[in-house]
Structures are given as structure tokens and as C-alpha cells.
Structure 1
Amino acid sequence: MNSKKILFGLTAAATLFSFTACGGEGGDNPVGPGSSSSKPVELPKESSLNPVLFNEPSVTVMSGMNGMQGSLSGVITIDPDFFSSEGAFEGDTNQVTRIDSVHFAVGKPTGDGKIMQEPIAINLDGQVLPTDRISLSQKFFEFSQLSSCGVFNLYITVFSSTKHTVDPKVKTITYTNTYNQLTFTRNESECKAPEPESSSASEPETCTPVTANEVELSNTTGSSQNALNFETGLADNPHVTLHISGREASLVPGAGVSVFEDNSQTTGLQPEVANPGQPVCLEKFKASTRAYDEELTSGLWLEVVANGKTYPVMIKKPMFESNTKGSVTLIYYK
């Protein structure tokens, strides 16, 4: 591991801007640019060195249940090579570094060089903290929360810490890091007055009905089904194969098969449950541009593309018998 020096005496809490904490509510809930209640974004002071890695974070503009929304993707992790050698931790391997919380903020650049706060809310529902990995997949915010249209900046701030695993008297070291390279655009047409409704009936939306199917993939016994062809529901000519290593499950795609994150569905919620009595339409599932080859987590939505067809997939909680044995239940639509 690499030794990295850590900054003491962080004052992030004192300068933290009004944004949404992981699983919490917004702060001052400012109105937006042009309002007397709007305030400039103030980013917390960063640590000189930091254990956090931002892996391909992005924000995609897409249609949601209540209009347009910003859909997040990417992963935040603790650097596996990070090792504190500061103070009491010098030469001491009895330490662990974890992510304590993640905060988000949206700012609107103005003509005078300022960036004003926007009253957005992003929750990482179901995320248990502290942790060493946070997936941003299927996390989103509604554009209806924004005060106007145009270009906006999205900031992701991570608070993490190193603790002694044996002696609780050893002072915890805290770190702050902000990712500030994300921008997105809200189309000006969304801020215009609505057009009068046409007297002619609007064309119905296209709907290709799909139904849910459930299958358990497992490698616990020689007779277990550990692969799946989504069209047949069998293991022959599989589109994906279950792989388990280090108590982490993943799907290995077959030849010509691609697996993407889905940015349209709510984590862990099946669409027929969210909208009882309504048909489930294939067109309502939207794949992101980011291929997914990482750990399967409970409630995760994926889009598997095989032979020109798309199969939406929701992951149920993986179960493990050992580091290399276990099972995962999939709910897939076709």
C-alpha cells in the first residue's frame, strides 16, 4: 500500500453549503438565481490528500415520471491502496477507512461569475453507511426543483474517515473531497408557458407489453442453473453467466451481449407495483451509456441487450455460502 499524508483540522462542516445529505433532506432550501433568498454555492475545504476515488460519475438528462430529470451513474469507492501514516497511525496497520456520507449540490452560473444554489434533493435510499463503495446508479433529481433553464453544475462531496480498529482512543482522521466536473443543461422549452391544448386527440404512446419472470442463478451445486438465456429461460446458449468471487456476485455477458445500467427505474421497485393495473411497457425502460460489469447489489436495475432485443433486469439480494459460492435471484422482463 502507498503511504499518504492526511490533513488534520478540517473545517468542512463550518463552510458546508446547503445541499442534500445521503438519505436526508435539503438544508436552507434556497429559491434560485434572481431570488433574494438565493445564495452562492460555498464548497467545503478539501483535504490535501484524500482516500476517495470517483469512478466515471456522470449525469444524464432523461424523461422521468414527473417530467425531465437528471439521472446519475458511476461509483464512489475508497482507494484500495490508501494507507494513513499520520500521527498515531504511523506504521500501524490496525486501521480502516470508510465513506461516512455523500452530499450533493446544484449551482446555476450567473453572468457576474457567481454560482447560485438550487433547491435540489438527491437521496441514496437503501445505502448503508459507513461503507467503502457507493453506486450512483438509478439516483436522480427532478428538474421541476430547478428555478430556471440553462446550464447547471452538479457537485458531489464525500466525507470519509480513518479509524483505529483496535484502540478506540486513537483519534479518528477525517477527509473531504469534492467532484466538481459535472454539468448538465435543462432545455429552455421547459421554462416556457405551456402551449394551448390541441382540439385533436393526441396519438397514444407506443407500448410493447412485457411481463416479469423470476429465476434463481446459483453455483452452489453441480445441478444448479448458473447461466440464463433470457428468451428461453434456460442455461443453454446463455446471455449471462453468474460469477462469484470474494462474496461479490456479477454477471458475465456472452458473446455479442451487452449489459448497461438502467436510469429510468426506482431501485428495488417493480413497475407493476408502482403502477398497479397498468401495463409494463418496454419503452419505459431506459439504458444508460455506461456498461455495467461490477458487483450486483440488491434492487439494482440493468438492461441486457442480446441479439437486438432488450431485457430489463432487477437484481434481488445476493446470498453467499462462501467466497466463491452463492446465488442471485433475477426478475427479468420479456
Structure 2
Amino acid sequence: MNSKKILFGLTAAATLFSFTACGGEGGDNPVGPGSSSSKPVELPKESSLNPVLFNEPSVTVMSGMNGMQGSLSGVITIDPDFFSSEGAFEGDTNQVTRIDSVHFAVGKPTGDGKIMQEPIAINLDGQVLPADRISLSQKFFEFSQLSSCGVFNLYITVFSSTKHTVDQKVKPILYTNTYSQLTFTRNETECKAPEPESSSASEPEVCTPVTAKEVTLSNQVASDQKAINFETGLADNPHVTLKISDEEAFLIPSEGVSIFEDNSQTTGLKPEETESHKPGDPVCYESFLASSRTYNDELSSGLWLEISTPGGKVYPVMILSPMFQNKTRGSVTLVYYK
């Protein structure tokens, strides 16, 4: 549980950020990279109550389409044990607390103790708000937008609210909570003048072609395949097994198998469907990159995972469509590459 905070108005707080992520595009950047008009980062005051849990948020430096980038991972959820007893909600169980919006801020620490605002844009494409849960997996920002190199801070602020589920006249209670423990480093070499191109030909990039396979795991009838060994495509000696609980789907790894978030692919798109992929070119095994965060949360459509087996082989997997017959029975279609 996070520390208790002081309430701050949602609308006023949102104006303090240079960019936003609410399921759409980020806000306008008030300053450009290296601009002398850059202002110190001003975070909103936080509320006295905290209904939000930040589950292992992280930022990983990795190669992107336009140079290096910061790739996010982790999950933001509403604390399932949170219950408001403020004002009209005291003793009233007709309430629901949900995430209304998520805002990000990047700052560059300076020698005089200030942290200067950077004009970085991050969005949460495909995320419908309000929500009980937001995944940061496969969300990223380009380092080319940064004003310089060195160490930066990343702040994640969540605005949530408790609303009455029966009486719409009851005023909602607003909450503001910030995660401020993330830092990342942009290598100084990225800010140096480019070296003259060598006359010798550059080494070709390594590419191990992989092919997409599709399988549906299901526990709806006894004859359904509910587990898979990604090497054989069969249920024998499985790497993962499907579990359905409370209309949520999970992949349970076998002994020695680990499941990680993917840090390289676009949510909901196969590599061959992205704009950067040229028709006729193979999908390369080297284009997939696992994050350092293990994944044991529920499955959602478009989610990319990396399944690491005891033998050291890693299978990239995209979740296509979880479907539910009831609370404990359903199916999940996967696309995996081998």
C-alpha cells in the first residue's frame, strides 16, 4: 500500500503536466527540446486516501524505430480492499472506485536542485477509461524528444474517483496519487555529433526467421486442448496451461518456465502488420525483446508476452481473444512465433 496523501482537484492538477495518457494522444508540448523556456516539473498534491496500487512499474532503455526509447512495463490497479467512508459514503456500500486518467511527466535533474520539465509524449492507445486496471506494457517514448543526455526522472500520476452507484446526485470523491521512483539514463553518446560514415560496408543485421502459429486453449469441454508445448504445439509436456477464474484468463507456467512482458511489439498487432514491416520480409526472432518483469496477471486482447522455457528457448506470444462461457470455463486464442 502507498503512503496516504492530500486531496487535489482533478481538473486543476491535469494542467500541471506537459503530456497526458488517457487512451488517446498526449497533450501539446509547451516547450521544445533544449528550449530555454522549460519550466520545473510541478506535480499535483496527493490525496489523503490512496485507492491506487502501482504494481512493479519500470522503464527499460531499448532500441526503437527512431533510435533509443524508454519502454514501460507494470500494472496500475484499484486496491481491491479500498473502501471509502468519507462524507456521504460513510457506511454506504453503494460505491465504486475507478481510474479516470493517467498522466506522465519526465524531468531532468539540474545541478541547482531543480528538475526541469521535458516535452515527452506517451499515450495509452486502446485503453478505455474509467477502468479498474491499466497495463503499461508495450507503452514507450522516444529519446529523440529529450533535450539532452544523462539521468531523467519519470513520474506517473493517477487520477481516480469514488462514485455512488445508485444516487447520481452524490458528489464523487476525487483522488490523486503519484509514483515518483522511476529513473532512466540516456547515453551521452546519443548527444554527440555523428561520426563520418565509413566507406566500408556495415555488417548485415542478424535475422532468424520465425513463423506465426495459432492455437486456441480451452477448458469448455473435456476434449479441448487447455495446455501447450510451444515446440510441438501439443498439450503433452506443456509450457503453459490455461486457467479460468471469475471470468478472467491466466496462463500458468510449468516448472522451470517463466512468463515475461514483451518490450518490443505493438499491442494488438503482429509484427508483419506494423508499418515498419516491409512486405515479403521475414519476421525476425531478434526483433522480440522480453522485459525484466514477470507476468502473472490476467490475459487481455492484444497483450504480448515472452515465454521462456527451461532449455533457454523463448517463444513470443500475442493474446488474441479471451472468451468466457461462465466464471470458470472459457477459451483463449494465442498467436506464437517459432
Q: Same fold (TM over 0.5)?
A: yes
Pair 183,199 (structure 1): closer, same or farther in 2 beyond 3 Å = same
CA displacement at 1:78 relative to structure 2: 0.6
CA distance in 2, matches of 1:252, 1:77: 21
CA displacement at 1:26 relative to structure 2: 2.2
Q: Aligned to 1:331, which of 321, 331, 335?
A: 335
Q: Secondary structure at the match of 2:259?
A: strand
CA displacement at 1:25 relative to structure 2: 2.2
Pair 291,6 (structure 1): closer, same or farther in 2 beyond 3 Å = closer
CA distance in 1, matches of 2:38, 2:55: 31
Letter in structure 2 aligned against 1:176 = T
Residue 228 (structure 1) aligns with? 228
How many percent of aligned residue pairs carry the same amino acid?
80
Preserved contact between residue 10 and residue 174 of structure 2 (Cα < 8 Å): no
Return 5-14 or 132-141, whichever deviates more: 5-14
Structure 1 gap ranges (5+): none
Matched, 1:318 2:318: no
Matched, 1:286 2:289: yes
Residue 54 (structure 1) aligns with? 54
Q: Secondary structure at the match of 1:317?
A: strand
Structure 2 gap ranges (5+): none
* Equivalent residues in 2 for 1:301-316, closer than 5 Å: 301-306=304-309, 307-316=311-320
How high is the TM-score relative to the length of structure 1? Answer: 0.95
> Could you say what the CA RMSD is over the residues aligned between the two structures, in angstroms?
1.7
Preserved contact between residue 18 and residue 120 of structure 2 (Cα < 8 Å): no
Residue 178 (structure 1) aligns with? 178
CA distance in 1, matches of 2:77, 2:271: 30
Q: Secondary structure at the match of 1:13?
A: helix
Preserved contact between residue 26 and residue 119 of structure 1 (Cα < 8 Å): no
* Equivalent residues in 2 for 1:91-130, closer than 5 Å: 91-130=91-130
Q: Secondary structure at the match of 1:189?
A: helix
CA distance in 1, matches of 2:63, 2:8: 43
CA displacement at 1:261 relative to structure 2: 0.6
CA distance in 2, matches of 1:308, 1:75: 26
Preserved contact between residue 10 and residue 176 of structure 2 (Cα < 8 Å): no
Q: Secondary structure at the match of 2:26?
A: coil
Pair 261,5 (structure 1): closer, same or farther in 2 beyond 3 Å = closer
Q: Secondary structure at the match of 2:286?
A: helix
Letter in structure 1 aligned against 2:28 = G
Pair 265,26 (structure 1): closer, same or farther in 2 beyond 3 Å = same
Preserved contact between residue 74 and residue 137 of structure 1 (Cα < 8 Å): yes
Preserved contact between residue 6 and residue 84 of structure 1 (Cα < 8 Å): no
CA displacement at 1:233 relative to structure 2: 0.7
CA displacement at 1:7 relative to structure 2: 5.8
Letter in structure 1 aligned against 2:224 = S
* Equivalent residues in 2 for 1:113-192, closer than 5 Å: 113-192=113-192
Q: Secondary structure at the match of 1:83?
A: coil
Return 23-32 or 79-88, whichever deviates more: 23-32
Superposed CA offset, 1:304-326 (max 9, x none): 11121111000012110101111
Preserved contact between residue 240 and residue 252 of structure 2 (Cα < 8 Å): yes
CA distance in 1, matches of 2:8, 2:180: 23
Q: Secondary structure at the match of 2:321?
A: coil
* Equivalent residues in 2 for 1:30-109, closer than 5 Å: 30-33=31-34, 35-109=35-109
Superposed CA offset, 1:186-224 (max 9, x none): 000001111111111111111111000000001111111
CA distance in 1, matches of 2:51, 2:282: 46
Q: Secondary structure at the match of 2:209?
A: coil
Preserved contact between residue 317 and residue 329 of structure 1 (Cα < 8 Å): yes
Matched, 1:300 2:298: no
CA distance in 1, matches of 2:146, 2:31: 10
CA displacement at 1:93 relative to structure 2: 0.3
Letter in structure 1 aligned against 2:120 = I
Superposed CA offset, 1:125-175 (max 9, x none): 111111111111111101111111000000000000000000001111100
Superposed CA offset, 1:237-289 (max 9, x none): 11110001011101011121111111011101111111132211111100111
How high is the TM-score relative to the length of structure 2? Answer: 0.94
CA distance in 2, matches of 1:331, 1:112: 51
Residue 29 (structure 1) aligns with? 30
Q: Secondary structure at the match of 2:196?
A: coil
Residue 13 (structure 1) aligns with? 12
